[in-house]
Structures are given as structure tokens and as C-alpha cells.
């Protein structure tokens, strides 16, 4: 069953330069050459995105691709030049400044690459700060802050100041702060890119753990494809302000829509994205070595399946939907599939 759309973005443009609005009115679908001739920069060009409730939607691309700009348009931190953005069915572009403030305070959470913690406040006070801005009483906001601080694994450090924390711990405080107001949608703009590789991996694990508990709608920005395929339900690949393709990690790698996406994904290990359901066979017999989930990637299930002479059941919930053999796994690992 397809999840409902919570954020709907249609034909959104963000142009920088003089008289951009007027230009788009007379040139509704300009080419790169048209924009260059008009001395305009097309940061976001005719973007259409539908983000579903409860999914992790990753927007990725190289530096300058427009991924951060589109997120700022979606949250109206910057105003788009043209297009339509609907959040929970409401026109976000027609919202007043006061309405936007309330939406951002109560409906949207944001985490950026810079931790932006308030240095004079403790971990607990930083986590409670959004609720203080909302006017929530001290007892209630501190109780909620204790909950989110524990949720991100910082219980016992409530009285620490940011300078007393590691980079990963500071980022956890930023995440706790953004969760305190219980947002409907969570925007994360390269939140782990400033961290060391080992800490970054830990934060990705923490992020997935939190999502398994909270089931938030998440828009996650990254330039790292390995990070994207590890976290995403769906990925949008951007280039020069344009969405090249929106697909699952598996479909991006196996069915790239453009040469750019094919090149972007060319060196990705197939075992990281191909799932058991994609290479399983019909059930044949009743002797099995074990079970694997239908949506498990080959990298995760390779060792036990490859080590057994018998196939493994492929399960979707309590129902067997197929079987997977050693040969199928080896074919993926050596690049035959």
C-alpha cells in the first residue's frame, strides 16, 4: 500500500539574478542557454517531488547541484521563483509569515551540517530550547528534553556544555533539539559530513535506530552515495538544479534513467543494493537452511546463504515468497547480475 504524500512539490524553480520572476513569466521552460543569456543562475529548475509520510527521502548530488537549495525552498527558508509546494495539503507558498513560523516551530525539524548549539546552554537546555521558544512551561519542556536526550543516547550528560562533548555527541544534541517539538517532517542537510568516518558510521546507525522507533518523514541531503543507499527508501539525484531520477537505491543502480545517473552509480557494489526478492526463485521443495527477509540486501545475507548447500526461504512477514540459492548470491557478488 502506497503511503500518502505529505509534501508535494510541483514545477518549482529558484532563479538568482535580476528580474527572475518576470523572465519566468515570459519563458516558462528556459534552457541553460536561455538562463545564461539572461544572466540568471538556475539553482532549482522545474523540480517535481512527492515525499511520502514515514519515508526517508534522500536528495543527493555533487556540490552546486541544487540539493540544499531545494530543501530550503521546500521549507520556505528561501522563496522559490515559481511553482507549487503543498505541505499536508496546504499551499506553503501562500502561508503568511506568522503561519510559517508556527509551521516551522511545530511541524518541521531541521538539522544542518553546522551543529549551531548554544554554547552557554547545557545539553538539556539546548534540547529544550525549541519548546522554550514556543512558550511551553519549564516542567513540560524539561521532561520532553529528558526524553529526547535519552533517545539519542546522551543520558547522563544532560548538564554538560557543548564544549565538553565530542563532535558526534554535539550532533546528537542537534538531533535531540530538532526532535523535541515532535515535527511531522524532518529536514537534514548533510548532518554527518563534518564528522570523522567512524563517528559518521555510528551516527548513521543511530539515525536508523531512531527512525525504526519514530517513523518520521525525513528529507535527507547528502553527496555521499554510500550514505544515501544505506539510509534511503527513495533517492532523488540532482544535477545543475534538475532532478535526473527519483527511484529506490536498487532501481537507481539497476535501471538508471540517464547517462549521468549511470555514471554516478557505476562503481556502487551491487550487493549493497540488490535485495533478496530481486534474485529469488520460486519455492521448489521443502528443505531449507534458514530464512532471510525479502527486502534484505545481498551484502547482509551473503555469508549464511553462500555457506549452505541448501537454499534459504525468502520471507515477507510470515509468508514464504520464494527461495534464494548460493548461486544467486555468488552471481551478485561477482557481478554476473
Do 5-107+183-268 and 271-333 fold alike per CATH?
Answer: no
Q: Which helix H or strand E contains 27, and what residues bound it?
A: none
pLDDT digits (tens, 9 = 90+) for 256-266: 999 999 998 88
Q: Which three cell numbers stand for residue 22?
A: 518576470
Boundaries of every domain in the chain? 5-107+183-268, 271-333
pLDDT digits (tens, 9 = 90+) for 222-245: 998 889 999 999 999 999 999 999
Q: What is the pLDDT of residue 200?
A: 85
Q: What is the pLDDT of residue 92?
A: 93
User: Looking at domain 271-333, which of 1.10.1670.10, 3.40.50.2000, 3.90.1280.20, 3.40.50.300 is its CATH number?
Assistant: 3.90.1280.20
Q: Which CATH architecture has domain 5-107+183-268?
A: 3-Layer(aba) Sandwich (3.40)
* Local confidence band at 24 (pLDDT 50, 70, 90 cut-offs): very high
Least confident of 70-79, 80-89, 169-178, 187-196: 187-196
* Alpha carbon 136 to chain centroid, angstroms: 29
> Strand 41-52 relative to strand 5-16: parallel, antiparallel, unpaired?
antiparallel
Q: How far apart are CA 269 and CA 204, in angstroms?
A: 19
- The model carries a pTM of 0.88
Q: Taking 80 as the threshold, does the pLDDT of residue 186 lie above it? A: yes
Q: Which three cell numbers stand for residue 258?
A: 540517464
Q: How far apart are CA 292 and CA 143, in angstroms?
A: 40
pLDDT digits (tens, 9 = 90+) for 29-39: 999 999 999 99
Amino acid at each position: 500500500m502506497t503511503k500518502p504524500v505529505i509534501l508535494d512539490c510541483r514545477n518549482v524553480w529558484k532563479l538568482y539574478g535580476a528580474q527572475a520572476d518576470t523572465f519566468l513569466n515570459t519563458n516558462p521552460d528556459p534552457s541553460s542557454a536561455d538562463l545564461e543569456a539572461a544572466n540568471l543562475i538556475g539553482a532549482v529548475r522545474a523540480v517535481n517531488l512527492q515525499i511520502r509520510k514515514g519515508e526517508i527521502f534522500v536528495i543527493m548530488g555533487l556540490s552546486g547541484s541544487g540539493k540544499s537549495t531545494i530543501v530550503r525552498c521546500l521549507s520556505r527558508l528561501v522563496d522559490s521563483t515559481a511553482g507549487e509546494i503543498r505541505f499536508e495539503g496546504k499551499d506553503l507558498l501562500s502561508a503568511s509569515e506568522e503561519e510559517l513560523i508556527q509551521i516551522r516551530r511545530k511541524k518541521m525539524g531541521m538539522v544542518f551540517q553546522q551543529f549551531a548549539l548554544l554554547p552557554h546552554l547545557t545539553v538539556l537546555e539546548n534540547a529544550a530550547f525549541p519548546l522554550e521558544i514556543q512558550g511551553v512551561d519549564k516542567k513540560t519542556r524539561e521532561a520532553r528534553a529528558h526524553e529526547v536526550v535519552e533517545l539519542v543516547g546522551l543520558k547522563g550528560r544532560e548538564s554538560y556544555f557543548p564544549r565538553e562533548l565530542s563532535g558526534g555527541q554535539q550532533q546528537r544534541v542537534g538531533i535531540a533539539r530538532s526532535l523535541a517539538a515532535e515535527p511531522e517532517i524532518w529536514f537534514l542537510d548533510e548532518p554527518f559530513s563534518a564528522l570523522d568516518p567512524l563517528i559518521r558510521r555510528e551516527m548513521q546507525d543511530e539515525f536508523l535506530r531512531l527512525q525504526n522507533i519514530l517513523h518520521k518523514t525525513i528529507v535527507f541531503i547528502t553527496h555521499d552515495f554510500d550514505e544515501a543507499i544505506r539510509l534511503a527508501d527513495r533517492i532523488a539525484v540532482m544535477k545543475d538544479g534538475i532532478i535526473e531520477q527519483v527511484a529506490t537505491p536498487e532501481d537507481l543502480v539497476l535501471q538508471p534513467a540517464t547517462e549521468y545517473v549511470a555514471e554516478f552509480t557505476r562503481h556502487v557494489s551491487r550487493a549493497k543494493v540488490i535485495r533478496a526478492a530481486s534474485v529469488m526463485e520460486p519455492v521448489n521443495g521443502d528443505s531449507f537452511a534458514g530464512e532471510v527477509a525479502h527486502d534484505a540486501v545481498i551484502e547482509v545475507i551473503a555469508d549464511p546463504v553462500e555457506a549452505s548447500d541448501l537454499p534459504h526461504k525468502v520471507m515477507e512477514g510470515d509468508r514464504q515468497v520464494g527461495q534464494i540459492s548460493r548461486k544467486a548470491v555468488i552471481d551478485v557478488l561477482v557481478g554476473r547480475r
